[in-house]
Amino acid sequence: MTAEQRINKAAHRTKVIKGLFPHIVLWIGIAIIIFPIYFIFSASSHTSAEIQAAPMPLGIGPHLIENYRQALFEGTKNMGTPVLVMMKNSLIMALGISTGKIIVSLLAAFAIVFFNFPLRNFCFWSIFITLMLPVEVRIMPTYKVISDLGMLNTYAGLILPMIVSATAVFLFRQFFMSIPREIAEASQIDGATPMQFFRHILAPMTRTPIAAMFVIQFIYGWNQYLWPLLITTKPEFYTLLIGINRMMSGADVQIEWQIAMATTLLAMLPPVIVVVLMQKQFIAGMTETEK
């Protein structure tokens, strides 16, 4: 082999390694995400005794169907609410929050952009200020409002305080401002009322931002934890995440890990499906709102 050939070969080798590098890094990244979830899945296929005997078997055991059946229809011994009931509650909460937010924000943005009324700036800034008042910083007083209104353990209590969104109002406002006003003017000349313009022209044009908002807010709603933890005390109103917490409370030996882990996986499924199916709208929505 001549010196030149040797240099070429070495250059070729570094090029191959360079080409592989991003793949290796990305696979490590994926492994960091997937491995913990794999162990959860594995745990949900074993018996309580196998898990308690530590270390649990790392493969997929034969109790998968049995465990998921128990989780879906019966729940654990220390928490008798079945996953199906909690899934229904999570779904009502997530859909209520996401659709509620979209409707309320669309109407507010429509008013703020297309009308000139004396309190317009006041409304806009009031909505802006809500950005600075996340539920985490007003836990007790908000709880008190809900309890005074008799909304503890109700779906309204779970949903209503969550459907204000400065983010959604800003996104729709931004979008509405990019629409040529001639369209609004033309609709008026043709005799349409503002609400007809909203329903038949503006709302259909806003399809894409609405879809993006829906994905983000559905996930936000589904993943609420602190709020339902505060206001749901009756098991029939537990959401899935609260249920998981209740399953895990108590001494280690009493925890039915296999059921809790099956429930954890089931709780991940709906929002993950939404993201994967609507990935394009989701990324556009995330990066356009910048929040």
Partner 1 sequence: MAKQYEFKAPVLPYLLVLPQMVIVFIFFFWPAAQAILQSFYLQDPFGGRMIFVGFQNYSKLLVDPDYWQSFRVSTAFALCITLSAMTISLFLAIQANKKIRFASFYKTMLVWPYAVSTLVAGVIWLFLFNPNVGVIAYVLKHTFHVDWQYLLNFNQAFFLLTMAASWKQLAYNFVFFLAGLQSVPATLVEAAEIDGAGAARRFWKIIFPLLSPTTFYLLVMNLVYGFFETFPIVHAITQGAPGKSTGILVYKVWRDGVINLDLGSSAAQSVILMLMVIVLTVFQFRFIERRVTY
Residues 52-111 that bind partner 1 (CB under 8 A): 52, 54-56, 58, 103-105, 107-108, 110-111
List phi, psi (to 5°) of 76: -95, 170
Does position 23 interact with partner 1 (CB under 8 A)? The reply is yes
Residue 161 CA neighbour count, 13 Å, CB half: 25
Contacts of 282 (CB under 8 A, 6+ apart): 212, 215, 216, 274, 275
Does position 233 interact with partner 1 (CB under 8 A)? The reply is no
Does position 287 interact with partner 1 (CB under 8 A)? The reply is yes
Q: How many residues line the site for partner 1 (CB under 8 A)?
A: 99
Does position 11 interact with partner 1 (CB under 8 A)? The reply is no
Q: Binding string, 198-227, against partner 1, x = CB under 8 A? A: ---------------------x--xx-xx-
Does position 248 interact with partner 1 (CB under 8 A)? The reply is yes
Render 199-210 in DSSP notation, one character per residue. Answer: IIIIHHHTHHHH
In the complex with partner 1, which residue's Cβ is closer, 5 or 22?
22
Q: Which of 83, 85, 212, 260 binds partner 1 (CB under 8 A)?
A: 260
Footprint of partner 1 on 261-280 (CB under 8 A)? 261, 264, 267-268, 271-272, 274-276, 279
Which structure tokens are listed for 198?
Answer: 């909203």
Which structure tokens are listed for 246?
Answer: 């209740």
SS3 63: coil
- DSSP label at residue 250: S
Footprint of partner 1 on 156-195 (CB under 8 A)? 160-161, 163-164, 169, 181-182, 184-185, 188, 194-195
List phi, psi (to 5°) of 72: -65, -40
